[in-house]
Structure 1
């Protein structure tokens, strides 16, 4: 990963998901999803027209952030994000403080971040990512790499999975 992406991820990791009790939880969030609405399936499971509106809004906000950094969403990265999403929902990922998971596979140049966000915190998370997007310099050097994201609401939580390949 290049230095700009590292800085962007650090901003997201350290600047998001502060618990109501004041305990900081490390968390990165990024997301790519379709900004169009219809009845096509997302990740092969949930029609867009029946998806939670805040999940769609959060996914779109995250997509804007990563596109602004120069990353490109791809079907390959999206498929990986969908796989990790299902693993998260099925309880197969070990979340730190029940909120954060990360994995880096150097041989595949793959970085995965998954978050389990309580519903009462989703509005704050959206505000943070939108604010972080507004801070990006459009003239800054752009990143290279692929991004794929999945955000949905299941099991009483918003699950957000972000995949960076590059």
Structure 2
């Protein structure tokens, strides 16, 4: 610590030192009680020793050593955060690749369906038949029996006449 010296006599070694509340460093010969001999301010004295609190000791450490220590810590924090960010990027990239593969597969399936016949449909053969052949396959039903209470005077059809009446579903030949 080549900067360290008494603020009044500029002594650098051989004595015990104290720092004042006004910020001056004084050797035991130049100060210790009463107002500050440098600025004449009423102050208190804090002896410089290993028993000082860490927030007081930090002012007497090398700034380079402090910077290296903090930079090492900052580097660890940065490395940790970058690793976490890379894991997140990798996750999203893998998901995107999976979704892209599924999309390509779906596009291929859609293209195949558009090009060829449907894979899962059942097709029944349809053969055209002449109209006469179809009409003969229609089942003829006899007409309904006459109503139970028919007024007298109206003629009733006999069953043979009912059978000879043309069926509206059949073609006249």
Asked which structure has the greater RCO (Cα within 8 Å, sep 6+), the reply is 1
Q: TM-score range by the shorter chain?
A: under 0.3
Instruction: From the CA coordinates, give the structure whose radius of gyration is larger.
Output: 2
- TM-score of the two chains, using structure 2 as the length reference: 0.15
Structure with the higher fraction of residues in strand conformation: 1
